[in-house]
Structure 1
Amino acid sequence: MSFSVEERGNPNTQNYRIFFKNAEGKYISPFHDIPMCADEAQNVFHMVVEVPRWTNAKMEIATKEPLNPVKQDIKKGNLRYVANIFPHKGYIWNYGAIPQTWEDPLHKDGDTGCCGDNDPIDVCDIGTKVCLRGEVIKVKVLGVLAMIDEGETDWKVIAINVEDPEAKDFNNIEDVRRLKPGYLEATVDWFKRYKVPDGKPENQFAFNGEFKDKDFAVETIKATHGFWKALVSQQTNAGDLNCKNTCVSGGDSPHFCSDEDAKALVRATCPCGSEEPIPCTVDKWFYCAKN
């Protein structure tokens, strides 16, 4: 199963969008139409890469827009970039989401005591390759971190690209601790402090900031898949989320989007144009004391 992307608008502007297509060239939603599992028997999952490693632009699946293209987050009317908090430069992994998952904001998690953040579950690929924005890769799940972001449960799955030359050596979270010393500690530090330059407090974690193992992570992903199923089958109130899809829902569903309607939605966006420069302030370093 392969996927491709179509860029619209001008990169590094508020009109920039990345739309997704399947192998037949049909427009699809990366939130709803890409299968969660690439190999269910082996617990291999699809990952939509939103942010390549070492970059700063806060790209994300636009869950409230038709066909859910990837776009850059907006904060106070401006494009959002994460700060470089010494010694971290941008994102320290390929960062993205597992499709067909959803952290239900009305479900209080029994372990964290907090409700979900209303987004697909996040995933950090620790492989050696720097992926492309919008790339869909297959990942082996290794563990998960339970971050509490402004009172919401925000799971961070740790995984590795199955095509990574070292993937065979990584089968659980302890393999990361053993073979990539310091990476898990850096991951906790990154998530704890990345909003501090914006004047916000450090994020908190369930389980005292300890990573849970592969089995726990897989069960957590499957639970969020169940919430997603309820979402697209209208058993749960979608709120302002856009559930339009071209592959999952039947033609009688209000969520179904025909090929022609999908093409019209994409054509209505700005055509692909020249890239705007990234503000030089994005390269600034911040030095924050650790609490």
Structure 2
Amino acid sequence: MLVVVNHVILIKFKLVQVTNSNPMLLNFSNFRGTTFSRIQSTLALSSSSLSRTAQIARHITVGLKTTNINMTSQYSIRKIAQPNTLDHRIYIERDGNIISPFHDIPLYANADGSILNMIVEIPRWTNAKLEICKEQTLNPIIQDTKKGKLRFVRNCFPHKGYLWNYGAFPQTWEDPNVIHPETKAKGDNDPLDVCEIGELVGYPGQVKQVKVLGVMALLDEEETDWKVIVIDINDPLASKLNDIEDVERHLPGLLRATNEWFRIYKIPDGKPENQFAFTGECKNKKYATDIVRECSEAWERLIMGKVKPMNNSLTNITVSKSPFRISPDQIPSIGPNENLSPAPIDPSIDKWFFISGAAA
């Protein structure tokens, strides 16, 4: 069992003494200073178990001030300029400091890796295509643009905006240098995309604690673009949704609608249908968990400077031994929070598009 105590990882095992039937607890309080090989020989753990343990340990200890898995209150947002404008930025703050949602929020929210943090970029039923900006320092959330104009996703009947709280897993990266053996396509150079299917509508910059249920593999312009299906751990259905088959049982039609939405959502902009690997099948929790782990490992290579940055800003304030780490006093000056009303948008954004072959 892994326990976090003052940022030190303890591995606790029950050992039964020959002369005493009472178990005694063996604490390796110097875990971080002990080599993996020594731990392995002492505790007879497999190398894969050690690798997984170490990976989770790194994530849950980076920048944490508490072991409480409900960490939303740790984070706040700082909004700059009006929403629906080119100048709009949403920065994530912790302890009064701007941090990077790409690099400074731990992926794993508990010791066994069953609960993860996600950053909401686009709330359900909204159209503005907000995303973590990989290129800007400390990676604020901005609205994507095309040819200098703000991007909005179109409404494809019978859908309105995004079907879920859409966002990303921090400390993950879909490596464009790697071709996935099953999808036969490279990564898209983004953090892992996440679809949170709970009942509450989130807000841009919100940090949610979620559990993984499954994953779809969208093939977008010859790139693998994973879409991880998750549920907020505080959702009323969370205890009943433990794998992908539970989603169809309790939320019938949602996975089919999700597949359809990703397949057709670019058609109103003159692009062809998107394609899926695995004939559109949503893979189960185990498969999805493996994808998250692979993308976490890819991010670690990126943040440690072991691969080319690919125009990504890697500035961070918490990642130990990262060559891109800065101290809080080096954080660029950013203006105060501006809680401004959104700028008006073109009424055409609300238009419904009826697409042949889409389900009604």
Residue in 2 that maps onto 1:262: 331
Return the match for 2:347 from 280, 283, 288: 280
The DSSP-based 3-state class of the residue aligned with 1:37 is coil
Q: 1:158 aligns to what?
A: 229
Q: Verify: 1:145 aligned to 2:220, yes or no.
A: no
Please tell me the residue identity of whatever aligns with 2:75: F
CA deviations 1:168-214 (Å, max 9, x no partner) are 00000000011111000000000000000111110101111001000
Structure 1, residues 118-177: CA drift from partner, whole Å, max 9, x if none?
000000000000011110000110000011001000000000000101100000000001
Q: How far apart, in 2, do the equivalents of 1:119 and 1:261 lie?
A: 26
Root-mean-square deviation (CA, aligned residues, Å) is 1.5
Matching residue of 1:50: 121
- The question of whether the paired residues in 1 share the 8 Å contact of 2:122 and 2:162 is answered with yes
- Where does 1:111-260 land on structure 2 (aligned, <5 Å)? 111-250=182-321, 254-260=323-329
What is the aligned partner in structure 1 of residue 84 from structure 2?
12
Partner Cα distance (2:101, 2:140) in 1: 7
Q: Deviations over 1:230-263 (max 9, x none)?
A: 000000100211000011144xx54122212214
Sequence identity percentage: 49
What corresponds to 1:37 in structure 2? 108
1:31-55 Cα shifts (integer Å, max 9, x gaps)? 0000001124151110100000000
- Alpha-carbon distance between aligned partners in 2 of 1:170 and 1:48, rounded to the nearest angstrom: 20
Structure having the higher Rg? 2
For the 8 Å contact 1:58–1:80, the answer to whether it is kept is: yes
Runs of 4+ with deviation above 3 angstroms: 269-274
State the partner residue of 2:75. 3
- The separation in 1 between residues aligned to 2:113 and 2:342, in whole angstroms, is 40
Letter of the structure 2 residue corresponding to residue 9 of structure 1: A
Is the CA contact 1:54–1:92 (under 8 Å) kept in the aligned structure 2?
yes
Amino acid paired to 2:177: L
Structure 1 unpaired stretches of 5+:
none
Secondary structure of 2:329 counterpart: helix
Say which SS state the counterpart of residue 6 (structure 1) adopts. strand
SS at match of 1:225: helix
**Maintained 8 Å contact 1:27/1:246:** no
Question: Secondary structure of 1:18's partner?
Answer: strand
Which amino acid in 1 is paired with 2:306? Q
- TM-score, normalization by structure 2: 0.77
User: What SS is found at the alignment partner of 1:164?
Assistant: coil
Letter in 2 for 1:12: N
Would you say the 8 A contact 2:92–2:99 is kept in 1? yes
Aligned to 1:289: 356
Give the TM-score normalised by structure 1. 0.95
> Any unmatched runs of 5+ in structure 2?
1-70
1:81 matched to 2:144? The reply is: no
Q: CA deviation at 1:290?
A: 1.7
| Partner AA of 2:76 in structure 1 | S
- C-alpha displacement at 1:224, in angstroms? 0.2
Q: Does 1:107 align with 2:174?
A: no
